[in-house]
């Protein structure tokens, strides 16, 4: 069973962490059998499963339902559940109550979007036995504020702020820092300057692990994909082989390749 201490040992030994999003028991079992280390019940389910155009309409009930479904399929992987929009950011007490529901549904870690200002919530949850994955960089719940899904940390000031965000969460005891759409050089610098493992999506090869949205890496539809997505179904005749190829590619450092980062 993968635990927070397994992840910290993996950072120390340089073993890469393979994470995928997952929303139901059958795919969870296939990912688990393929050796995926961490399954994220992302609020991306709003788009991937529910057909919305953003993650904003997803509710805490939705997250608990899908977390419980995934938990039924898993034997070894760590289960991480996302806080949906408007839940963790209001107050640390509200975040704690929502986290308890997600943990009761089967999560072993919760993921909250937001930078330095969320570090107090990270500390509050970690002190109460709830491991936290702090999601920084392109935080999709901020899509309206960002004016779209854009690479973050491109200016000197923005890069300095992202370093502060990561360090604030790390000092608050975060179990993981997840960076989305951050220039590869900056993600490497952050990975080297925090104690906790980092996971990247569109953040280069030097993070301690990688995550992709399952529907993207299986190329379920032909819709335009982000630069960081690779089609792991290409040349395979079954989905479990695609998951196994993803795990192997993350672990041997062949994914992501330069064409996937910024
Ligand atoms: O909701 C999600 O799937 C995520 C990943 C893209 C990291 O946050």
Known catalytic residues?
180
Domain ranges of the chain: 4-260
Question: Nearest CA to 134 among 98, 101, 165?
Answer: 165
pLDDT at residue 189 in the model: 98
Pocket test for ligand 1, best of 44, 79, 226 (most atoms within 8 A of CB): 44
pLDDT at residue 230 in the model: 98
- Could you tell me the mean pLDDT of each successive run of 10 residues in the chain, 262 residues long? 98 98 98 98 98 98 98 98 97 98 98 98 98 98 96 97 98 98 98 98 98 98 95 97 98 98 96
pLDDT at residue 67 in the model: 99
Which atom of ligand 1 has the smallest separation from the CA of 43? 1
pLDDT at residue 61 in the model: 98
Could you report the per-residue pLDDT of 212-249, keeping only the tens digit for each?
999 999 999 999 999 999 999 999 999 999 999 999 99
Tokens representing 155 are: 């200016």
Say which residue the tokens 């890496």 belong to: 217
Q: DSSP of 89-137, one letter per residue?
A: TT-HHHHHHHHHHHHHHT-SEEEEE-SGGGHHHHHHHHHTT--EEEEEE
Say which residue the tokens 């399929």 belong to: 73
pLDDT at residue 138 in the model: 98
CATH number of 4-260: 3.20.20.60
pLDDT at residue 90 in the model: 93
Please tell me the pTM assigned to this model.
Answer: 0.98
Which atom of ligand 1 has the smallest separation from the CA of 111? 8
Residue nearest to atom 4 of ligand 1 (CA): 42
pLDDT at residue 162 in the model: 98
Residues near 93 by beta carbon (within 8 Å), at least 6 away in sequence = none
Could you report the per-residue pLDDT of 115-141, keeping only the tens digit for each?
999 999 999 999 999 999 999 999 999
Residue nearest to atom 3 of ligand 1 (CA): 42
pLDDT at residue 190 in the model: 98
Measure the CA angle with vertex 14, ends 12 and 20; round to 5°: 110
């Amino acid at each position: 069973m993968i635990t927070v201490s397994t992840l910290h040992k993996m950072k120390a030994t340089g073993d890469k962490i393979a994470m995928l999003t997952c929303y139901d028991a059958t795919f969870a079992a296939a990912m688990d059998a393929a050796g995926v280390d961490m399954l994220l019940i992302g609020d991306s389910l709003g788009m991937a499963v529910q057909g919305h155009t953003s993650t904003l309409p997803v509710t805490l009930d939705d997250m608990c339902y899908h977390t419980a479904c995934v938990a039924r399929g898993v034997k070894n992987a760590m289960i991480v559940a996302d806080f949906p929009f408007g839940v963790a950011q209001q107050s640390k007490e509200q975040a704690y109550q929502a986290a308890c529901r997600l943990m009761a549904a089967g999560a072993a870690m919760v993921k909250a979007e937001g930078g330095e200002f969320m570090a107090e919530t990270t500390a509050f949850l970690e002190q109460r036995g709830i491991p936290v994955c702090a999601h920084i960089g392109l935080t999709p719940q901020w899509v309206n504020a960002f004016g779209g899904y854009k690479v973050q940390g491109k200016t000197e000031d923005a890069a300095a702020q992202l370093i502060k965000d990561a360090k604030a969460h790390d000092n608050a005891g975060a179990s993981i820092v997840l960076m989305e759409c951050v220039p590869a050089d900056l993600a490497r610098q952050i990975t080297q300057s925090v104690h906790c493992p980092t996971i990247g999506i569109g953040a280069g090869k030097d993070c301690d692990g990688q995550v992709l949205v399952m529907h993207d890496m299986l190329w379920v539809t032909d819709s335009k994909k982000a630069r960081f997505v690779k089609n792991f179904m290409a040349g395979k005749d079954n989905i479990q082989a695609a998951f196994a190829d993803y795990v192997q590619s993350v672990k041997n450092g062949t994914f992501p390749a330069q064409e996937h980062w910024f």
